Amino acid sequence: MKNTVLLIFMFICLNVSFAQNTISYTLNHTPNSKKITIELAFDTTSTDTLKLVIPRSAPGTYELTNYIAFISNVNGYTTSGKILKGVVGDGSFFFFKEKNEVLKKISYEVDINKMEMTLLGSFASSKIRDNYLGILGYAVFGFIEGFENESIVLKVHTHKDWSIFSTLKPSVQRNKGTELYKVDNFALLADSQLLLGDAVQVYQVSDSKIPLFVAVYSETTINIEEIGRRGLLSLKKLTEYFGYVPMPHYTLCYEFLNPVSEMHNYGFSMEHLNSMTSSLNVSKAILEPNDKAIGGIIHHMAHSWLPLRSFGTGYKPFEWQTAPIIETIWLNEGFIWYISYYHILDNKAVLQFFKRTINQAPKYIQDKSLKELSVLGSTQYSLDFRIGKNLFSRGALLAHDLDHLIQKETNGQKSFRDAILGLLKWTEENNKAFKYDEIEAIMSEYTGVDLSSVWHKWQKPLKN
């Protein structure tokens, strides 16, 4: 009897503990509104310490985006029934001036229309159109500072006739009006995408090693099955290269849009842990089969291996309040460019593009070491895309030289692939970011080749 009572008591304690460590997020979308409302319900927290942080960046964006500019009507709800007004702090956060108050919930509005009109890069913005609401997690969801690692329950409420799709739990069977998701932490919520509305098409690709989905909003005619075919072909080629698939499922999220102004640009895509997003002009609509047009998919899908699952300091854990200083953008981008285009797509001529890029770089870029250029690219990778192109070009040429040395020293028994798999294996075993001065040693260990000469050569400025 005592053991039974003890077990019941432990069960209750565990459930209470789980409830206390779970934050409830609710996304409310009212039909015909250009805004959404986000609510966070949590364990009671004092206004003396509470900060509602709004992300300024996300892994792989390499830029600062002032998402807080699209947020208004921040309210805090106390246990005594008061409603307090949030105040913008001296960073990307809101706080409450009232002292010694206890909050249990916060709500705020996000102006999606203003976001799309203001942010000229289509890849950076959530969007709202007729019968469509497309959400980038990090563009709308904030978090309570210190609660980033708490588990989350996300509730979505929208028009009763609107279907709801999320990369968190992709399925062709979509609920309408209301949906519920469970997420392990804020980083996974921020990394996710939501596509709401009857204008969203969803297609599951058959014969895939993992569940593979395509989710599309288009303002022109598209061939969703062709997008899926390209996605499957890309996944097969990447699986053949890496030897395994780390993603439990994968979604290709596409938007084909009529430009909202001549100033807006469409074409950049973004990688995510288990998905990719691509916002394109309607002129780029995918219709006909084309095996040569899969470079973008391969590149962004390959990021699910590196750096999303093997990464240097600064990439993870991520500093959401700023664009963190990342010293390894050349690795994140350049190594994947090399794998994607030189090896998987067998485009050997791409080396000439890389060489031409670095040879024609302006002096301020050529004068910087690899690490210095990456630090600069942490906030300006695409703002001045000469920085971005030089980063991935130098990284790709470094990868090529490493590949040549590894194959030479091992008589073709090993290659750059073994160096990449070594980085992935190291991260899996150590469960942390590798430091800058650990990278060469890790690759040398897993290939059995001393790579220090090539490594040091590429660390220097191009011109002294």
Question: Residues 296-307: pLDDT tens digits?
Answer: 999 999 999 999
What are the phi and psi torsion angles at 311 (to 5°)? -155, 160
Beta-carbon contacts of 114 under 8 Å, excluding residues fewer than 6 positions away, are 34, 69, 70
pLDDT at 269 over 60: yes
Residues 40 and 110: their CA atoms lie apart, in Å, by 14
* Nearest to 123, CA basis, from 328, 300, 356: 300
Q: Residue 463's pLDDT is what?
A: 76
pLDDT at 464: 59
Where in the chain is CATH 1.10.390.10?
201-302
Please give the CATH number for the structural domain made up of 27-117+137-194: 2.60.40.3650
Report pLDDT digits (tens) over 134-171.
Answer: 999 999 999 999 999 999 999 999 999 999 999 999 99
Does the predicted model carry a pTM greater than 0.85?
yes
d(CA 131, CA 137) in angstroms, rounded, equals 19
Residue 31: its pLDDT value, please? 84
Dist. CA 433–CA 310, nearest whole Å: 7
How many angstroms separate the CA atoms of 278 and 134, rounded? 12
Chain centroid, CA 332 distance in Å: 13
Helix (H) / strand (E) containing 405: helix 385-409
Q: Write out pLDDT tens, residues 379-428.
A: 999 999 999 999 999 999 999 999 999 999 999 999 999 999 999 999 99
- Provide the 8-state DSSP code for 462: S
Exposure on the CB side of residue 384, measured as CA atoms within 13 A? 14
Q: Supply the CATH classification number for the domain 201-302.
A: 1.10.390.10
Question: What percent of the chain has a predicted confidence (pLDDT) above 90?
Answer: 94
Categorize the per-residue pLDDT at 21 as very low, low, confident or very high, splitting at 50, 70 and 90: low
Q: Residue 103: in which H helix or E strand, if any?
A: strand 102-111
In the chain, ranges of CATH 2.60.40.3650 domains: 27-117+137-194
Tell me if 226 sits within 8 A of 218, measured CB to CB: no
Rounded distance between C-alpha atoms, residue 337 and residue 310, angstroms: 16
Residue 19 scores a pLDDT above 70: no
- pLDDT confidence of 330, banded at 50, 70, 90? very high
